[in-house]
Amino acid sequence: MAQVTLKGNPVQVNGQLPQAGSKAPAFSLVAGNLSDVTLKDFAGKRKILNIFPSVDTPTCATSVRKFNAQANDIANTVVLCISADLPFAQARFCGAEGLENVQNLSTLRGAEFIENYGVAIADGPLKGLTARAVVVLDENDNVLHSELVKEIAEEPNYEAALSVLK
């Protein structure tokens, strides 16, 4: 169990975030068309998992925008924006923002992902959602970088996440 904060208030997070050098746990999440998508569906690609509570918050929205812009020129890389938002809300946000370089995935049927990736908020007002985290994987699903953001209302370290792919 890890601890982060939400606007300075302690929040418990269940599980263990995958660490650099480990193999990423398999997952199944929900795509925009409500189909199940697995980690295997991205085989052979490098992956940035941008994990956050909800795209309807300013910091989460900013992270989607920044990864959309900054990861665009990195070869053989897909940005997966993972939140509890329904696929309809994710699509509406990206459509309104003109964001085409990220793929949204919902934890709608992804309770196993939330636990296996160590991002399950266990208490407080966001209980049941995911903590803010970034996990970067190589083509073979080995973890290159991971960050559990210590303050949920703050952005991740984009530079650290992207630097392992350059």
Q: Which residues are catalytic?
A: 60
Q: Could you tell me which residues come within 8 angstroms of residue 159 by beta carbon, excluding any fewer than 6 positions away?
A: none
DSSP 3-state assignment of 127?
Answer: coil
Element (H, E) at 16: none
Measured CA distances, 138 to 2, 27, 48, 131, 150 (Å): 25, 16, 9, 22, 24
**Which residues are bridge partners to 105 per DSSP?**
82
**How many Cβ atoms from other residues are within 10 Å of residue 68's Cβ?**
19
Q: Provide the phi-psi class of 138: left if phi over 0, else alpha when psi is between -120 and 50, else beta.
A: beta
**How many Cβ atoms from other residues are within 10 Å of residue 140's Cβ?**
10
